[in-house]
Amino acid sequence: MRRGKDAKRKENRNSGDSHFQTATHLSCYASGLLRIQLTTNFMTTSVTESEINQESARLMALGLHSKCVEGRRDHIAALTLKINRLKKEKNAVICAHVYQVPEIILGIGDFVGDSYKLADDSRGTAADIIVFCGVRFMAETAAILNPSKKVYIPSLDAGCSLSESVKAEDVRALKAAHPGAPVVTYINTSAEVKAESDCIVTSANAEKILRRIYEKNKEVIFIPDKFMGANLAKVLAKKPGEDMILWNGTCVVHEHFDARVIALYRKNYPGLAVLAHAECPSDIINAVDYMGGTGDMMRYVENTNAPAYLLVTECGFGELARIKFPDKNFIAMCRLCPYMKAVTLENVLQTLENPSKEKLVTVPPDTADKARVAIEKMFKLAA
């Protein structure tokens, strides 16, 4: 699998187990100042103390009161104030994935959710500009679905190990080796890979869509996540390598969880409900109570009353769950995604204030047209 050097360094630094800590690096607001100066590479602006206090109160009311923001809530408020003003001025919306830090989700997110929800939300917006607080493949998907709009990614480091694990020529080789087998592609892929695919899926709808595709096909190519593919094959009673042809891609967050830790937590927390993302290895999935995407996992927490929940996925999801359900008990078992955490309030502000060509996400028209067919088939089959 190919990953950039910068991404590898970030992965080594940030992807260890964490008790719902975030990877943002914002300086604290110096209390007592009458005005705060927000300095970026491009501009300096100021907001009043009264405005900051009002915005801070708004964020608190939304749930941004956890320890992770203590000492810098006013600095966050100053940033969200400026970003939200610029959104109105420029007719922009912000799509925020649930793995983002709470200040992005609660402070500036217009659309919040998993990959499927954000893709669906983005195609219905009347905004001229979409700023995607997620990773690049998500921004590409929004660009494919909104060819007349400008889509920006705030950080060039917001890649994805799964997306980088497979290229268009790999898909063409798989199709040549398995003629007639439809290519079902996880959304965590580049636009070029989607253009070679028959249907796109997300963790929220992969099982449903695969069942429908298997009604007319004996063999299916599923790419790129080998763990998700193996987990789905088991659920569907299909044999990997025969009924389901897999690729060797993995997620840097989910591939390193240890099932032995789950057994230890179960001993310490009787009645513990363990939920894991479908990108986890099969030994993890075999040890949990529920497997699904982030939207499915959040609904499971909402609709059950376990004495405690263990969420085996990226840390941002656990932070959001704790904010949404403050009366429920969450036990930490998570890992940071270095790609998701590359997006910050500061680089969102930079993107809106002075949008650069390098952060503008574009997809060649021919590629976009082909990829759009596969994405629209997902919407049709998932309905």
At residue 25, the pLDDT reads 29
User: CA angle 229-216-203, nearest 5°?
Assistant: 30
At residue 22, the pLDDT reads 30
CA distance 351 to 348: 5
Tokens 């970030």, located at residue: 10
Answer yes or no: are the C-beta atoms of 210 and 201 closer than 8 Å: yes
Contacts by 153-156, CB closer than 8 A, 24 or more apart: 153/343, 153/359, 153/361, 154/343, 154/344, 154/347, 154/348, 154/350, 154/351, 154/359, 155/342, 155/343, 155/344, 155/347, 156/358, 156/359
- Determine if the peptide bond prior to 154 is cis (ω within 30°): no
CA distance 282 to 137: 25
Q: What DSSP element (H or E) covers 320?
A: helix 315-324
At residue 73, the pLDDT reads 84
- First-to-last CA distance in the chain? 34
Around 167, how many Cα atoms within 13 Å sit in the side-chain half-sphere? 4
Residue 358 is classified by DSSP as: G
CA distance 178 to 261: 39
Tokens of 377: 């088939």
Rg, the chain, Cα only: 21
Tokens of 296: 């499915």
CA distance 358 to 208: 37
89: closest CA among 353, 344, 350?
353
User: CA angle 117-122-124, nearest 5°?
Assistant: 105
Q: What phi and psi, each to the nearest 5 degrees, are found at residue 268?
A: -80, -25
Q: Which residues contact 130 (CB under 8 A, 6 or more apart)?
A: 92, 93, 94, 95, 122, 139, 142, 146, 149, 150, 151, 152
At residue 332, the pLDDT reads 79
At residue 6, the pLDDT reads 40
Q: What number of H helices and E strands is found in the chain?
A: 17, 16
At residue 45, the pLDDT reads 58
pTM of the model: 0.86
At residue 351, the pLDDT reads 98
List per-block mean pLDDT (blocks of 10 residues) for the chain, which spans 383 residues: 38 37 28 36 66 92 74 89 97 97 96 95 95 98 97 97 97 98 98 98 96 98 98 98 97 95 96 97 97 95 97 94 94 92 97 97 98 98 94
CA distance 312 to 300: 14
At residue 64, the pLDDT reads 85
